[in-house]
């Protein structure tokens, strides 16, 4: 039964709301229509950094490219069920979730079979909220659920947005940095108006190269456009980041002293845990 303000004394009502809020799991999705903006890298490394802080974290791969699995050393092609079966069949998320080699970090993997979901879900009832319904059944087992979205604006991205209370848009400090952001935000607004579900949005500057003027210009432009919604910490470009997936490990584990690893951990400690922890 849901308690309404007029049913009970104010103090009890406030305590009731506080309890709901403080036990609410944070579901964070990483989205940007622009390919290669570091959505997957950020999802994996922020997920691993949250886990390293002792927060039970589940990474959900909503991208048929299956890069989260690769980056976490999980061979999703050897698994009997993955995200596809969770969204399109009767499979429960618990049956598809696997523990990673990292303490406190679990993965709901995907692979190319998930690309069929774009077509198969077309006729499903409340197709935009299937992931939300499914993930709700396990979310309370975790402190954080992190979702990696594909670089497209289809039904998988809509499902990720509809399930999340936070959207982080990684922005690559490169030419065309703003491409993809506008359409991503339009889709987020559509989810808000159509489904009545709002998502708090933040921006993360990635692949920042302090030697180039372009990176500084992109940073200026993004901060001017989105102000306080841009994380103060940014992620520098570092060669070790590109090497890490082939070792099946987040860079924060593979090369903990890399400047990108230090930046991801600092971002989590100084901002993410303070804002949504
Ligand atoms: N800080 C960084 N320094 C150097 N390389 C990086 C950094 N972040 C990401 N990369 C590299 O950039 C490429 C794209 O990153 P990633 O796969 O995370 O982007 P994405 O937004 O998930 O891409 P897609 O849109 O295809 O899903 C990868 O090769 C990754 O290793
Ligand atoms: Mg990706």
Task: Looking at the CA of 35, name the nearest ligand.
Answer: 1
- pLDDT tens figures, 114-154: 999 989 998 888 899 999 999 999 999 999 999 999 999 99
Taking the domains of the chain in order of start, what are their residue ranges?
28-53+120-276
Pocket test for ligand 1, best of 41, 234, 239 (most atoms within 8 A of CB): 41
What is the pLDDT, as a whole number, of residue 236? Answer: 98
Atom 25 of ligand 1, nearest CA residue: 35
Residue 7 pLDDT exceeds 90: no
Query: Does any ligand 1 atom lie closer than 6 A to the CB of residue 172?
Result: no
Whole-prediction pTM: 0.92
Cβ(104) to ligand 1 under 6 A? no
CATH no. for 28-53+120-276: 3.40.50.300
Q: What is the DSSP string of the chain?
A: ----GGGS-HHHHHHHHHHHHHHPPEEEEE--SSTTSSHHHHHHHHHHHHHHTT--EEEEE--TT-HHHHHTT--GGG-S--HHHHHHSS--HHHH-EE-SSTTEEEE---GGGGGHHHHGGGSTTGGGHHHHHHHHHHTT-SEEEEEPPSS-SHHHHHHHHH-SEEEEEEESSTTTTTTHHHHHHHHHHHHHHH----EEEEEEESB-TT-HHHHHHHHHHHHHHGGGB-SS--B--HHHHHGGGGTS-HHHH-TTSHHHHHHHHHIIIIIHHHH-
**Which atom of ligand 1 lies nearest, measured to the CA of 208?**
1
Ligand 2 centre from 61 Cα, in Å? 9
């Amino acid at each position: 039964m849901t308690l309404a303000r007029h049913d009970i004394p104010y103090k009890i009502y406030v305590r009731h709301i506080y309890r709901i809020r403080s036990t609410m799991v944070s579901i964070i999705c990483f989205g940007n229509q622009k390919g290669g903006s570091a959505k997957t890298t950020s999802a994996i490394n922020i997920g691993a950094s949250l886990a390293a802080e002792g927060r039970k974290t589940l990474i959900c791969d909503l991208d048929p490219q299956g890069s989260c699995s690769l980056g976490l050393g999980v061979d999703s092609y050897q698994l009997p069920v993955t995200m596809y079966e969770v969204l399109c069949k009767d499979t429960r998320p618990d049956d598809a979730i696997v523990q990673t080699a990292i303490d406190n970090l679990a993965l709901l993997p995907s692979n190319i079979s998930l690309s069929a979901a774009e077509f198969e879900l077309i006729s499903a009832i409340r197709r935009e909220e299937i992931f939300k319904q499914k993930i709700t059944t396990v979310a309370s087992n975790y402190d954080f659920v992190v979702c990696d979205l594909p670089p497209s604006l289809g039904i998988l991205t809509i499902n990720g947005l509809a399930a999340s209370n936070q959207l982080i848009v990684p922005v690559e400090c490169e030419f065309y940095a703003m491409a993809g952001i506008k359409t991503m935000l339009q889709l987020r607004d559509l989810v808000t108006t159509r489904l009545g579900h709002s998502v708090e949005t933040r921006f993360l500057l990635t692949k920042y190269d302090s030697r180039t003027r372009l990176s500084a210009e992109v940073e200026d432009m993004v901060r001017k456009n989105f102000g306080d919604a841009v994380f103060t910490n940014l992620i520098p470009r570092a060669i070790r980041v590109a090497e890490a997936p082939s070792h099946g490990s987040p860079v924060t584990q593979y090369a903990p002293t890399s400047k990108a690893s230090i930046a991801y951990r600092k971002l989590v400690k100084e901002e993410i845990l303070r804002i949504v922890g």
